Amino acid sequence: MHVTVIGSASGVSPQERALRDLYLVHGPALYAYVLRLLGGDTHHAEDIIQETLLRCWKNGYLADDEKMAVRPWMFRVARNLVIDMRRMRAARPVEVGGATWLTELAGDADEKEQILSSIVIHDALKELTPAHREVLQATFFADRSVQRAAKVLGIPQGTVKSRVHYALRSLKAVLKERGVHP
């Protein structure tokens, strides 16, 4: 299988050979110039060089002649392409990573959900007996162990455990009556 690449040494047409020669003569200097304009961004610099050479090909500026010097024209085209690229980026909204906006959106939803949940639970706690509210306050809401809650409340650990059990059962029933399924 024989493959001919545009601008390769095996290019058949004189235009293809001229494009290759143009790249060999002016490519390194043009690449260095564009790389400086882009602050070292090699990927975009390569894209700009390719587009510049493509425009040379399309416009027929493949060789220096008396009418036009190709090198200054190529540098001007490359510079204009860099300017166009920057303008296009400035006109577009700032791109965000895929996870960033989703995480922020989920964070907002989580905050709202937590606020709503706390309101519902606060109202449901009002329907519990004072002893059940007190034991839940001393354990879950104060983030204490059963042993520490027993010391604070002045009751045995077994009593704290059973009250927590029955308080949670009652809270679950109250929430179920309100249409919340914990």
47-57 confidence digits (pLDDT tens): 999 999 888 88
Average pLDDT on 20-47 reads: 90
Lowest mean pLDDT among 45-49, 97-101, 123-127: 97-101
Q: Nearest 5 degrees, angle CA 18-CA 23-CA 43? A: 145
Q: Give the residue among 10, 11, 15, 88 at the shortest CA–CA distance from 48.
A: 88
Q: How far does CA 82 lie from the centroid of its chain?
A: 25
How many Å is the Cα radius of gyration of the chain?
37
Q: What is the pTM for the complete model shown?
A: 0.45
- Does pLDDT of 2 surpass 50? no
What mean pLDDT, rounded, does the chain reach?
80
Q: Give the residue among 111, 120, 140 at the shortest CA–CA distance from 182.
A: 120
CA gap 66, 41 in Å, rounded:
35
What the block records as the tokens of 127 is 């329907």
Q: Give the residue among 9, 161, 47 at the shortest CA–CA distance from 169.
A: 161
- Does pLDDT of 64 surpass 70? no
3-state DSSP assignment of residue 40: coil
Which element (helix H / strand E) includes 5? none
